[in-house]
């Protein structure tokens, strides 16, 4: 199985976990004498199996992310870099947005606001982070589809 397939399977297991938890919550209490639509013990066993499967997948994914490298950089480190690029892009855009003066003055007596930060430079930096993010994400996706998931 490829790493990308393991990642897809992890998402599926997480979705099934949420669904099973909700099903169990719906039948956790029943009126005395009523029989729940599903067997709670069966759902509890399913929940346990799903958590075991998720644990196994996460461990395998983590081992693979640490072992797979491109140009001396592990996939795990690349994922951290990608996440930070995304956060930096969002932060720079928010700061640039905050520095954009949009208040209209109706008379010369009103207080005038001016930007204290270089908005255009921040936008360019954010664009650079976005481009670096896309390029790194493409490399990560390639590794995901070409790397075998470790046991």
What pTM did the predictor assign? 0.83
CB-based contacts of 10: which residues, under 8 Å, 6+ apart?
54, 57, 58, 61
Between CA 19 and CA 42 the distance in angstroms is 14
Q: Which long-range contacts (CB under 8 A, 24 or more apart) does 141-144 make?
A: 141/4, 143/3, 143/68, 143/70, 143/75, 143/78, 144/2, 144/3, 144/4, 144/7
Q: What is the pLDDT of residues 64-110, one digit of tens each?
A: 999 999 999 999 999 999 999 999 999 999 999 988 877 666 666 77
Q: What is the pLDDT of residues 22-68, one digit of tens each?
A: 999 999 998 898 988 999 999 999 999 999 999 999 999 999 999 99
Helix or strand or coil: residue 33?
coil
């Amino acid at each position: 199985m490829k790493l990308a397939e393991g990642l897809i399977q992890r998402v599926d297991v997480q979705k099934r976990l949420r669904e099973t938890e909700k099903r169990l919550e719906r039948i956790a209490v029943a009126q005395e004498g009523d029989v729940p639509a599903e067997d709670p013990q069966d759902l509890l066993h399913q929940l346990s199996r799903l958590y075991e499967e998720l644990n196994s997948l996460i461990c395998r994914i983590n081992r693979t992310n640490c072992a797979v490298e491109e140009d001396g950089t592990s996939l795990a480190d690349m994922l951290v870099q990608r996440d930070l690029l995304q956060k930096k892009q969002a932060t720079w855009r928010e700061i640039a947005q905050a520095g954009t003066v949009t208040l209209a003055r109706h008379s010369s007596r009103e207080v005038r606001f001016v930007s204290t930060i270089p908005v255009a430079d921040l936008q360019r930096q954010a664009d650079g982070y976005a481009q670096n993010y896309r390029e790194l994400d493409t490399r990560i996706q390639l590794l995901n589809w070409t790397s075998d998931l470790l046991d």
